[in-house]
Amino acid sequence: MIAADISDFRALAKRRLPNFLFEYVDGGSFSETTMRRNIEDLQAIRLRQRVMHDVSAIDLSTTLMGKPAALPIALAPIGLAGMYARRGEVQAARAAEAAGVPMILSTMACCSLEEVRAAASQPTWLQLYMIRDRGFMRDLLARTEAAGVDTLVLTVDLPVHSVRHRDVRSGLTGSQGVAARLSRMLDIARHPAWAWDVGVHGRPHILGNVASAMPAGAGLAQFTAWVGRNFDPSITWKDIDWLRQHWTARIVVKGVLDPADAVDAVAAGAQGLVVSNHGGRQLDGASSSIAALPAVVDAVAGQVPVLMDGGVRSGLDVLRALALGAQGVLIGRAWAFALAARGQAGVAQVLDQLRHEMEVAMALTGQTDVKTLDRSMLQ
């Protein structure tokens, strides 16, 4: 298949990945209503076609959280990306660096922060969950600083792990008895290319950033159980004060949908926000990210940069978010599908595809600079 858009990469990823991994990255929570709304609400926003404007020079460069970026795009944190392709986070980091955009490494990455930083000269942002063990947290923050990272993306919308029916049906979560393990082995056997690339040559299959905190094992089988035991549901805005005792660089808060929470985050010291519903993987029935974006932008009134993630599937979607006040967008499933399909080359192709789509859409809306887009370009 020749991949022309994100849906094609999704189809390729579905062919290549064992079912339990594809369902993990493709699925949402409960009935997946919010996950669908993320896409549908973006696509429902109409752009104004404008003509007879000089669009011979289009500038897609911008600043994301104080740093220059070639595109108003960053790779969102994706857990277990090292299971989609051999040392997947490393491949994605190299593609992001070549495209001139940031990558946010998940706490739940297979490749450790140190491994990813060794593979790319551009500092990676680190996504952070609050873990009950504050001693481990201090050690992780020290490692992060030593690796040259200057931006923490604190994810606040996962105080508890949500209900994800697809993961139960696929055998990734729920009963892990003999029948479930046998089903997973058969699933892997039906995907020999993945088994050879990742299963055999992609080892170790561990969660590199948290392995030291998982004495019972840091592999896929222990993943969701460890998350349930160790993510801290008592987190409040006061925990940013604790972070500040051990981290002096930038803190961005990800997972804000409500304007009141946005105001509280800024008051607590957040230096950036990401409007996000965790890709529809947490509270089903919540607002889509794009529907929540304008009110959050208005609430913070330019005090901090605002990014958005959720449902971005094209360059048109990027422009829609920028027009509604986002400084940039994060792409998640888009790069995960591409990584699963074709590794680093797939991620690079998706970023180039988004760049081209943005250039075309800007020309047809009479725009020349992504830094000046506003609501006037929308119907």
Q: What average pLDDT is seen over the chain?
A: 93
Q: What's the pLDDT at 49? A: 98
- How far apart, in whole angstroms, are the C-alpha atoms of residue 89 and residue 104? 10
Which one of the listed residues 161, 201, 278, 356 is annotated catalytic?
A: 278
List the beta strands (DSSP E) in 35-190: 62-64, 67-69, 73-75, 104-105, 125-128, 151-155
Q: What's the pLDDT at 160? A: 85
Mean pLDDT computed over 29-54: 98
pLDDT band at residue 231, thresholds of 50, 70 and 90?
A: confident
Q: Name the DSSP letter for residue 257.
A: -
List the beta strands (DSSP E) in 112-268: 125-128, 151-155, 250-256
Q: Label residues 53-80 b or e (16+ Cβ within 10 Å = b).
A: eebeeeebebebbeeebebbbbbbbbbb
Mean pLDDT computed over 116-140: 90
pLDDT band at residue 174, thresholds of 50, 70 and 90?
A: low
pLDDT digits (tens, 9 = 90+) for 324-359: 999 999 999 999 999 999 999 999 999 999 999 999
Angle between the 315-323 and 289-300 helix axes, to the nearest 10 degrees? Answer: 30
CB neighbours of 175 closer than 8 A, spacing ≥ 6? none
Using the predicted structure, report yes or no on whether residue 31 has a pLDDT greater than 90: yes
pTM score of the predicted model: 0.95
pLDDT digits (tens, 9 = 90+) for 275-301: 999 999 999 999 999 999 999 999 999
For the domain spanning 6-377, the CATH number is 3.20.20.70
- Look at the block and give the residue holding tokens 């792409």: 331
Q: What percent of the chain has pLDDT over 90?
A: 83
Is residue 191 annotated as a catalytic residue, yes or no?
A: no
- Look at the block and give the residue holding tokens 């803190």: 251
For the chain, which residues make up each domain, given as ranges?
6-377
Lowest-confidence segment of 136-150, 166-180, 187-201, 338-352 by average pLDDT: 166-180
- How far apart, in whole angstroms, are the C-alpha atoms of residue 311 and residue 121? 29
Mean pLDDT computed over 146-170: 91
